[in-house]
Structure 1
Amino acid sequence: MKLILSEDKFCYESQRINALKKLEILDTPPDGKFDKITKLTAQLLDMPIAIITLVDTDRIWFKSRYGLDAHEIGRDPGLCASAILSDDLYLIENAKKDIRALANPLVAGSFGLRFYAAVPIQTKDGYNLGTLCVIDKKSRKLDNAKKELLHNLADIVMDQMDLRMDARKAYRYQQQLMYTTAHDLKNPLSLMPLLADMIVRQKDNPKAIEEIGLQIKDAGKRMNRLITELLESAEEDNGKIQLRLKSIDLTEMVKGIVDSNMVRARNKKQNILFHSEKDIILFADHQRLTEIIDNLINNAIKFSPFEKNIYVTIRSEKKFAVVTIKDEGQGLTTDDKKNLFKKFTSLSAKPTGDEISTGLGLSIVKDYVDAHNGRITAISEGKGKGSTFILKLPLSEN
């Protein structure tokens, strides 16, 4: 039996209220799923009243009630407020003879409460948000089978609240995904008609047309990267990451990725300086590993100012290959480091050449690194002091 000691009450209560608020369920409209639970509870326990209560700072709000018209009552004094102080069943079989209930207005007043039984609705973190309770206006007994049943039904209430919150998060995620896609595709798409007009005007200038063609190609690559990241993110959310492992020469792979990013770096007058030890062999997924390295180098270009250096090095360290991408860019704040690998996170650094940023790239990188049993960390001395990403992947044993 867990009891909240007086010295811990303030801290626990503050955290409990935060957990309740995060569920975003207070003052929401009636929900048939919860109404079915209260009706079922009353029928199975043969009680006239069953309520799903949530204990707020100054009130006890009813998410669902069966056999009662009220929507909420004051918290103090309140039986439910007392019931959430313990994980066990809170049982009053005869309120007129129970010292815990004598002063309660529902007992002393016209309502005439005589029987009360409640089980806390508890989160996975151990916070009692409210109760599933049953009430009668006459004294009752509750056998062990019905006590267990009340516990199980309270667990179902918590499960339903978690499912409801998960559904809300999924909906918000979908909305954010749609907004991000529309916003980030708009930039390269809006560029296409302008470039087409330039081709018409420069039709007698082969060099200009070649340059415009490269810009169109780059815009297409930007859109392809965005769509690829969104699709890969969706695959991760559905648990569909499947690695196709094979022996890979890491030095050769990274050199190819560096070369493919040279044009983008030169457009910003940046230098990519590459150094590697020889014969570093990994057993990895070629496509996923390419995405990891390319994303990190692309970010270094994207978030570094013009005329800066980017350093890419490869070395071996015990049983790991270590790839380091260091830039002279905008650096990372303390908050940036906390949120670095989360989806759709807006960091303090902004692209320096009108590039797009989905907020998905690093979250995908982290998932791919984890799938390879590797580690990725970021180091920065602060804003304006550059960033270093360190990728560690297990070396091939053969």
Structure 2
Amino acid sequence: MKIAPLPANEVDRLHALLSYEILDTPAEFSYDDITLLASSLCDTPIALVSLIDSDRQWFKSRQGLDASETPRSQSFCAHAIHQEEVFIVADACLDERFASNPLVTGPLGIRFYAGAPLINPDGFALGTLCVIDKQPRNLNSQQRSALKTLARQVVSQLEQRRLNKILAGNFIALQESTKQVCDQQAMLVHSSKMSALGELSAGIAHEINNPLSIISGKLWRLQKHISENKISANDALSDIEVAEKAVRRAANIIKGLTTFARDCTNDPAETTSLQNILNDFIAVTTDTVETAGIEFRIPEFEDCFIRCRPAEIIQILLNLLNNSVFATQKLPQKWIELKVSSDENTVRIFFVDSGSGIPREVQDRMMDPFYTTKPTGQGTGLGLSISQGIAKANQGELSYLPKAANTTFVLSFPKARLGMIA
């Protein structure tokens, strides 16, 4: 028996074979169909997809054979990988290379062998598609051609397997990268939200302190009059009514802050009253606007509903408000008007201030991340960019009207109906 020599590129060949991660994997129909067809076309009882490992030949698919592998030293396929054409042994008993081979002299009793090498795109012979018989015989030219064609199909399956592995790895990496991007985006949105809240912090503190001072004063007055027995029912009811009004005012401010400040990144959209969104927005901004000497107008409108995450819509409005407060601070007339219009399909919020518009060179860049016209330390440059992204994430759009008489931004959303889920 003659043992097949190692190919000159054996190290690289083994590396190529291992790269497919196919050794010792379960049977697959795609390979079994090929060996079944090879057995039928060549009229042999045995057909194998044989892969030549360092010290064994392992069968990815086998027809007519129980063994899953045999030693490489006994392998016919180890000889076949040395050539590009079909390797044929018409009668192993008459071939000095195989006459004393245990696969010939033993129970298997191989007499005929034909193997087409499995040559990958890099030129490495990974193994063979082979057919075996226990009787001496040969293949005609059509059978040889068919065996080579089927061998190429085996290689195609191997390449597809490797490609799928690469794609799966890339998909996992892409998922991880996407998660990192989403996490970074969430951090930027949160940073922008906190920045917007920070610019309003003085006004918000005043908003809350005012009703608390009223409540404290009225309670002190009631306590004093009760202790002096100088309280009348009317006076008590009047003081309580004023205190209750202040409590409601503080509650509205806290509700607005709670709605805005909570992390709603993973919340599903909900069908929400636009009036409720604006009420929460007004609750946390009224004192800021008044302190800046700005007249704030919201004309009456017929309430309508949009599918959104309410806190994110408030964040957009706060960013627009902060920009307007900054832009109008030196104007003789300072006002902000928030108008709502809707038709059958769309709700539009027009955010208008008394400015005469935004210069063209700024318009072209104002939605870019980190672009700002504010002095250093007074803005992140993320407000409009993130607001635009938030609008899109809520199926809406934030746009600027360049031809309007005053500085005008428009928030547009699909109109929702009560009971709407998606």
TM-score scaled to structure 1, two decimals? 0.49
- Rg larger in 1 or in 2? 2
TM-score scaled to structure 2, two decimals? 0.47
